[in-house]
Amino acid sequence: MSSYIGKHDHFNDLGSPFSLNELLIEIIGDSNIPILSNFDIGHIFPSHVFPIGIEVILNADEGTLTFLEDGVLE
């Protein structure tokens, strides 16, 4: 299991004393789930298209996401 969180052009923390990543860690707690955040997916330009439901390898230490399958069927 892993988690991916894109960035948003219009996100406004309204002066919050914590970052979005700090809030995420607070909610998830002390778990061993790799999280890749703040990258161009979702509601941002440019937005990369990520296929849903394929096998991937997420290396949170290196900040890489490797697709193990094709995202489109012929």
pLDDT tens across the length of the chain (74 residues): 666 666 666 667 788 888 877 888 888 887 777 777 777 777 777 777 778 888 888 887 887 889 999 888 77
Structure tokens at 17: 């004393």
Residue type, 29: G
Residue type, 52: I
CA atoms within a 13 Å half-sphere pointing along the CA-CB vector of 8: 8
Residue type, 28: I
Any domain includes 8: yes
Any domain includes 72: no
Distance of CA 70 to the CA centre of its chain: 20
Domain interval for residue 25 = 3-67
pLDDT of residue 27: 84
pLDDT of residue 4: 62
The total domain count for the chain is 1
